[in-house]
Copies of this chain bind each other. A is one copy, B any other.
Amino acid sequence: MKTPGPSSTQPPSRRIAEELRAAIEAGHLAPGDRLPSERALAHQYETARNTAREAIRLLAEEGLVTARHGSGVFVREPQRLFRFGSDRYSRSNRETGLTPFRLEARRQGKEARIDVVGITRERPPQDIAERLAVPADEESVLHRENHYFADDEPVQIVSTYLRWEEAEGTPLTQPRTGKDGIYGRLEELGHVMTRVRDEITARMPTRAEATVLGLPSGVPVLEVLHTSLDQEDEPFEVSRYVHRADRTGLFYELPVE
């Protein structure tokens, strides 16, 4: 069941990576432990420092270790997962007065913070325009961008898109949207959320996302493109959630048939 070839035929950098990986998987190097320094590894394996460095990079790309400048390379700690369930859109949760994010944060004993980064009228990206049924070549949407933090650590970026013609002149264009948030206001506009569609993909973060979320290499993001449908089965809100994948899991429970 060995994936790589015999270690004797492997380049030194891969061999070093393999031995470190084995030590991590066997628990000889526990989460939080520091690896030997690059110089120490180079000496130990009688290679140049760059070769040891390449080995560590391979492990970092797999998400097994994280380098901290000036301090060392450490085995990554398994992170408690934020879990966003399929009930996150339900009214019963909304009645707690807490958004799904605040609810989950409280469940984990963390402090939630939400920064409103921008509220602007825009031309929608193609995928948003299709799902919200608005033209992509006009400034047809209101775009609200928020950043979410747990204990001051960023965990998700959310972009919400609404029809400009509906949002114009309402509290939806304000940072504080009032009781029950945007869904409360949208209900007043006649949209009762009756069905949702979530489209889920994973990818590596863009440079901007990596910066905002403070992502080390080897951590992908989960992207959820969410569409809310009203009682007429018309879409009235589309959001793009970008989660750091090492802190977040999604959870869907559904009846069959």
A residues sitting closer than 8 Å to B (CB atoms) are: 3-4, 21, 61-63, 81, 83, 86, 89-92, 193-208, 211, 217-222, 245-246, 248-257
Which of B211, B254, B257 is close to A91, meaning CB atoms less than 8 Å apart?
A: B257
On whether A256 and B200 interact (CB within 8 A), knowing A21-B207, A207-B62, the answer reads no
Copies of the polypeptide in the assembly = 2
With a cutoff of 8 Å between Cβ atoms, the chain B residues found around residue A254 in the complex are 86, 195-196, 252, 254
Q: Which residue of B lies closest to A255 (CB)?
A: B195
Nearest Cβ on chain B to A166's Cβ, whole angstroms:
19
Nearest Cβ on chain B to A197's Cβ, whole angstroms:
5
A255 touches B194 (CB 8 A): yes
16 pairs, CB–CB < 8 Å, chain A vs chain B:
A4-B211, A21-B207, A61-B217, A62-B205, A86-B254, A194-B255, A197-B252, A197-B253, A198-B251, A199-B249, A200-B249, A201-B222, A201-B248, A201-B249, A203-B246, A254-B254
A89 touches B250 (CB 8 A): no
